[in-house]
Structure 1
Amino acid sequence: MDAVPPRAPRRSCPVPHSPVTVIGECVADAFTDAARSGPGELALRVHPGGGPANTAVALARLGTPVRFRGRLADDVFGRLFRAQLAGSGVDLSGCVAAGEPSTLAVAQVDGEGRATYSFHAEGTADWQWSAAELDAVDPAGSVCVHTGSLALAREPGGRAIEAYLARAGAAATVSIDPNVRPLLVDPAVYRSRLPRWCALADVLRLSADDVGHLFPGEPVEAVVDRFHADGVPLVVVTLGPGGALASLNGERITVAARRVAVVDTVGAGDAFTAGLLHHLGGLGRLGGRPDRLTPAEVAEACRYAVRVAALTCAAPGPNPPWADQV
């Protein structure tokens, strides 16, 4: 296992709703559309997606200033991503104009609204981060840096993002969502790198499905304790209709799910993360280590995040709510 990148001493300087930087991928989520398909053809309905991009959109719609740092292609999907992000109020000035094509995921939704994907991702723009590109991303002024998903797990860009987090963590709260995609990255890769990510992160949000892919058969609480032992103070596991389990330095908090007529669950976890970070920012708990964060505040933030995620499930595709809808 590689050594954890050195991290500068941490300070706490929270500023409510100061900018959050999000680094990661945009993915074109293409859903099969049986109603529009004819003999010998398959119609697709495409939504702009990708875990980090979804989180950036949701944060901006909730009212948190967001700087998105992605590698955006100049193709039909790249233009779709830009329109979605900019239309939601996300700052795209630090994005890289990528020469590679956009990533495509073809999704099929089951009767419970859960999506399964096939990915078309080899040689695409999202994973090609270089150290020079990230050196140009100034973390100054951001109280939080959020990343994760495939951009953090795939090479060559993943290691460059890790090094960036080690620098940014001197002043910003670091948030990571592994968003495990076993069809593209072997879960063993995530397992080998999670100790390093936990050493870099202040907040780790993952789903019960992620836990099952990573540590099959292990109880969720035992896995949470493993993450704490590796260094992350706040772990939140979303449990779908079971709500959420949060753990702040080992102190457990459970939050019930909200009842909603589910259209699909696409982007719900990303929306939860956005709601969590937005609410923590409003409490003044972003910026450096979460040393002053209390279990009551975690519960409050998770209850808000559950509402944001539920409203996302009530709309097709990764379409998170605006602040006045929550």
Structure 2
Amino acid sequence: MIAVLGECVADSFASRPPADAHPGGLALRVLPGGGPANTAVALARLGTAARFLGRISGDVFGRMISEHLASSGVDLSAAVAAGEPSTLAVAALDDAGRAAYTFYADGTADWQWTPHELGLQRLGPATCLHTGSMALVREPGRTAVEAFARKAAGHATISIDPNVRPTFAARDDYQVTRWCEWTDILKLSDDDLAFLQPGVPVERACDTWHAAGARLIVVTRGAAGALVSLDGERAAVRAREVEVVDTVGAGDAFTAGLLHSLGTKGLLGGRLDRLDLATAVAAAEFAALVSALTCAVAGANPPWSGQLTAPRTPPPLRPRRTPPSPAGC
């Protein structure tokens, strides 16, 4: 089992209403979202037992999210029934299908964690805890979330995705180097890296975070694929080719694919001591497929295990190994 701790958000997408509607208005299509919730859904659909540790509102959006999680096979027994409203995100898609979000998040359910709500028993039998995203940077709950993850590190592999949202939190809120003290897997995008470490080469950033404690770092690069770095030994992974509808949830699907692959090989539950670069690359290649199939449909709608066939698959790419960067370079 993999436990996922974090937010569940109502993602809304604006469009022009029909011509006979009120002039000058917008129509909103609302779908279940939130990075951690998306990851839990993708894990469950791939066949990994997934437990969602979230604060789920009882409002109309929360009920929609609960139904979505449950229908995908996610275990909600450790979720909190929250009295606060759901977080609402309004997404605007650019021509490449990338989303920019405006968040309506003041006083909403996702950020109200207390230490009492996050006792270690919520982890249950999970061999891995995945967290990050906005729940790890938003007060008042961020302190409780980080404390829980630190405690869980004594019992499970810890995975973090910062999932940076510049309109939601400042750079200093993303304490990635400190998080790496108790994190085994760090997954982030090239956009995350540019925000967190502007102007810093990816190899140097990886080496900094390896030195802080993270063993496996994967940086996704959209159509350019991904960089896998295991204790400073690195390889490139090619992206899968699909017709992109939008990229909503693609990073979360990648994370799920990565963790699912590592879990099926029995590598989760400790500090990744038996993981080698070839296995990490194979896991990232599988994750790239899951991510690509998510990009091929609208919204955060990751594939089920029976749908893991890409429309177009390039020939296998031999991993390109690069030596670790010298310290300080």
- TM-score using structure 1 length: 0.92
Q: 1:49 to 1:296 in 2, by over 3 A?
A: same
Whether 2:125 is the aligned partner of 1:141: answer yes
Letter in 2 for 1:86: A
Structure 1 alignment gaps of length 5 or more: 1-18
Identify which of 17, 21, 27 aligns with 2:3. Answer: 21
TM-superposed deviation, 1:136: 6.0
Whether 2:46 is the aligned partner of 1:62: answer yes
Provide the secondary structure at the position in 1 that maps to 2:200: coil
Superposed counterparts of 1:24-39, under 5 Å: 24-34=6-16, 36=18, 38=21, 39=23
C-alpha distance in structure 2 between counterparts of 1:99 and 1:282, whole Å: 37
In structure 2, the residue matched to 1:188 is 172
Whether 2:195 is the aligned partner of 1:210: answer no
Calculate percent identity across the aligned residue pairs: 59
In structure 1, the residue matched to 2:327 is none
In structure 2, the residue matched to 1:171 is 155
Preserved CA contact (<8 Å) 2:53 2:122: no
TM-superposed deviation, 1:210: 0.3
Preserved CA contact (<8 Å) 2:98 2:246: yes
C-alpha distance in structure 2 between counterparts of 1:301 and 1:33, whole Å: 37
Letter in 1 for 2:225: G
Counting matched residue pairs gives 306
Superposed counterparts of 1:1-326, under 5 Å: 19-34=1-16, 36=18, 38=21, 39-135=23-119, 137-190=121-174, 193-326=175-308
In structure 2, the residue matched to 1:7 is none
TM-superposed deviation, 1:140: 3.8
Letter in 2 for 1:194: V
Provide the secondary structure at the position in 2 that maps to 1:180: coil
The range that moved more, 123-132 or 134-143, is 134-143
Q: 1:36 to 1:175 in 2, by over 3 A?
A: farther
TM-superposed deviation, 1:75: 0.4
Any idea what the Cα deviations from partners look like across 1:10-30, whole Å, max 9, x if unmatched?
A: xxxxxxxxx111110001110
Letter in 2 for 1:246: V
Higher RCO (C-alpha 8 Å, min separation 6): 1
TM-superposed deviation, 1:40: 2.1
- TM-score using structure 2 length: 0.91
C-alpha distance in structure 2 between counterparts of 1:139 and 1:286, whole Å: 14
C-alpha distance in structure 2 between counterparts of 1:29 and 1:219, whole Å: 33
The range that moved more, 62-71 or 210-219, is 210-219
Any idea what the Cα deviations from partners look like across 1:147-176, whole Å, max 9, x if unmatched?
A: 010001111211111111121111210000
C-alpha distance in structure 2 between counterparts of 1:140 and 1:105, whole Å: 30
TM-superposed deviation, 1:309: 0.0
Any idea what the Cα deviations from partners look like across 1:7-51, whole Å, max 9, x if unmatched?
A: xxxxxxxxxxxx111110001110012254742210011110000
